[in-house]
Structure 1
Amino acid sequence: MKSAITFKSVHAVVRLLVLGAGLWGCAPAWAQQPLPRVELGAGMFRIEAEVAATLEHRMLGLMQRESMPPQHGMLFLFPEAQRHCMWMKNTLLPLSVAFLDEQGRIINVEEMKPQTEDNHCAAKPARFALEMNQGWFKSKGLGAGTLIRGAEQLLPYAR
């Protein structure tokens, strides 16, 4: 039940940010700053990921983006291991999300349709979520148990 409460709280904060600040057509100042990037590895594959380590950046995610290069993604860092959930409101790209444990191993991968409010959740407590273009993990043969190298080094930066 705690995950549903957390999701609803985040949903409420996002609504307040968007509606209260009148930001329908533009992003807030903190969202206009480029996010730090990190190189990750999965098997023989290289991933260039933007890092969303703060609540503000996690809430914005990949919203309003029209495209993303094939080997690029976004790594969400969470301050605690929980059954985190993702959703696709205002996200234009179809995405796959891999939920990762504290060591960076994939717990589960979920396929997400653009512009929906469906919950896509970790099967067990996760510390990271890695979003890539839809089908990326499947096309590379990467699934539960696969190590995403480099993620675990970022744990101290989650806020």
Structure 2
Amino acid sequence: MVRHRLVNNGESQGSIVIFIVFGVLVAVGAAFYFVLAPYIFKPTVDLWLGDGIFRAQIATDGVTRQRGLSGVDKLDKDQAMLFVFPVEGRHEIWMKDMKIPIDIVWLNKDRRVIFMVKNAQPTSSKSGKYKPETPALYVVEFPAGTVDSRSIIIDGKATFKIDMESVK
């Protein structure tokens, strides 16, 4: 009688380990793409206002509008953040947890400047809240000093392209 003995040379175990490692890498990559990427790779739009052209990060949902520029250490002179709301209103901007002073500009549905705050300072308290007296659909935050240096004025018109269907 001949006895056959199976010899395990480690190839099957190595294949299993490679398969598990590959699966973990795919899961981590998917988590990064679906969870972290929106916070790292923020959508932007070119925005013209006054005599400036700005690369503006877009905030179109409640989470990104609430976070805004909180935690940002520096804005270059050609950077901004554009808040897009689903309906016009007296949308309030709160400077809590901000690290830098900013200029804030509210735009109506026609993208005309209706209200501005220059050099709004960071705060850790309940103060530092700003809102326009008339309804706005958009708010733009710039580095402090931009309103003056780029000749942004009341009734000035902003130009940018945005997909309003993505606004929540």
Question: TM-score scaled to structure 2, two decimals?
Answer: 0.72
Which residue does the alignment assign to 1:147? 157
Choose which of 49, 59, 70 in structure 2 pairs with 1:63: 70
CA 1:30–1:86 in structure 2 vs 1: closer, same or farther (change >3 Å)?
farther
RMSD of equivalent CA atoms: 1.8
Q: Distance in 2 between matches of 1:158 and 1:79?
A: 6
Runs of 4+ in 1 over 2 A off after TM superposition: 28-34, 153-157
- Secondary structure at the residue paired with 2:103? strand
Contact 2:50-2:151 at 8 Å conserved across structures: no
Matches within 5 A, 1:2-151: 29=36, 32-111=39-118, 112-116=120-124, 117-150=127-160
Q: CA deviation at 1:95?
A: 0.4
Identity, in percent, stands at 22
Contact 1:31-1:60 at 8 Å conserved across structures: no
Aligned residue pairs total: 131
- Higher mean alpha-carbon deviation, 37-46 vs 122-131, is at 37-46
The question of 1:158 aligning with 2:167 is answered yes
Contact 1:54-1:158 at 8 Å conserved across structures: yes
- Higher mean alpha-carbon deviation, 137-146 vs 78-87, is at 137-146
Contact 1:31-1:57 at 8 Å conserved across structures: no
Question: TM-score scaled to structure 1, two decimals?
Answer: 0.76
Higher Rg of the two aligned structures: 2
Q: Distance in 2 between matches of 1:79 and 1:119?
A: 21
Which structure 1 residue ranges, 5 or more long, are not aligned?
1-27
Q: CA deviation at 1:31?
A: 6.4
Which structure 2 residue ranges, 5 or more long, are not aligned?
1-34
Q: CA deviation at 1:40?
A: 0.9
